[in-house]
A = this chain, B = another copy of it.
Amino acid sequence: MLDNSSRTELAELGEFGLIRHLTQHIELQHKGSIKGVGDDAAVLKADEGHVTLVSTDMLAEGVHFDLGYMPLRHLGYKAATVNFSDICAMNGTPKQLLVSMALSSRFPLDAVEELYGGLLLACKRYNVDLVGGDTTSSKSGLILSLTVIGEAAPDKVVYRNGAKPGDLICVTGDLGGAYMGLMLLEREKQVFKENPNIQPDLEGNDYVLERQLKPEARIDVVQLLADRGVKPTAMIDVSDGLASELLHICTQSKTGAQLFEEKLPIDPMTYERARSFNLDPTTCVLSGGEDYELLFTIDINDFEKVQHHPDITVIGHIADESNGVNLVSKSNTVHPITAQGWNAFRPNA
């Protein structure tokens, strides 16, 4: 991937040359994207009466990703979809993206093209215009900073703080898979370190690997909720693990919650891999993170509208604040939920 033969050095192109090279074929899709790359700022216009949603994410090599097993194209795709997911979590639609990157001199042009290829593929799939960014060198490693612009009708925006006792807690898709993918990739990296002649043994793990390497933003669920006339009372995306996200909703909504272990949606492969690593699958769901599913609460009167949908699972309900935030285990014991989510500043993170 970082092969040095016939490489084009970034210094030959320079900053403006590089940006021009990477962005020359971009065609803006939205009429609201008035001006993209090439001036001091992008010029945008939200649909009549809509509010603008803005979110930004920074990803650092060695902290958020490991290029030892994350291909640059996947990294670009994931960086974009993870950012789009934040807009979905507000019940909005992503529209434009700005991408900044700091690159050390070990990255030749074709590596940057791979990264950009992934970013542009995600933009195409999600119908998002890449409208700006910045590119610079760094003294070490790769740092990505993405800013996504989205929009929503003002009365459709969903915050974290609107849950109320009695609301149902729903989650999309299944959880814990991305963490199992990470565990597998880390294991094979260790094996490879110890014996570079051994080929990685990843066969039969496609689902959890894809969950880790190529997550998707649940814009389909935002659309589905709109189609069925359901406005969640609170919503967040699952980036740091279910426990941490539910605590965000409960803290900001000033409520408690009761979660049922037997309801947690876990894919059979995730379950099996967790067992093979001697991990409790429920712990993987609560603390694993990076699934980028949507966690939301709905008024109980909306239950019928989402019932029986294969991609939405009711996993518990919101309670009074005095109840605390608990997990009811399969054996019917009650455990308080604490955040064991990821901390980028932990020394070994």
Contacts and interface: CB of A to CB of B under 8 A. Distances in A.
Nearest to A152: B43
Contacts of A148: 41
A87 B40 CA distance: 7
Given A10-B345, A14-B343, A41 B63 contact: no
A275 interface: no
Contact of A102 (B44, B53, B143): B143
Nearest to A101: B58
Contact of A145 (B9, B52, B58): B58
Contacts of A223: none
Given A45-B52, A136-B63, A58 B11 contact: no
B39 A160 contact: yes
A307 to B, nearest CB: 26
Interface in A47-68: 51-64
Nearest to A56: B98
Interface stretch (A89-97, A183-191, A196-204, A321-329): A89-97
A250 to B, nearest CB: 14
- List the number of copies, as a whole number: 2
Nearest to A92: B41
A159 interface: yes
A290 interface: no
Interface size class of A (residues with CB under 8 A): 35 or more
Given A139-B61, A346-B11, A55 B42 contact: yes
B58 A53 contact: no
A132 B252 contact: no
A160 to B, nearest CB: 5
Contacts of A45: 51-52, 154
Contacts of A252: 38
Contact of A53 (B43, B92, B134, B157): B43
12 contacts: A35-B159, A40-B86, A40-B89, A44-B54, A45-B52, A45-B154, A56-B100, A58-B135, A61-B139, A100-B145, A105-B345, A147-B147
The 7 closest A-B pairs by CB, nearest first: A145-B145, A41-B55, A40-B89, A58-B100, A41-B53, A136-B344, A11-B345
Given A52-B52, A56-B98, A60-B136, 12 more contacts: A15-B344, A39-B161, A41-B53, A41-B92, A42-B54, A44-B54, A55-B132, A56-B134, A58-B136, A60-B143, A100-B145, A102-B143
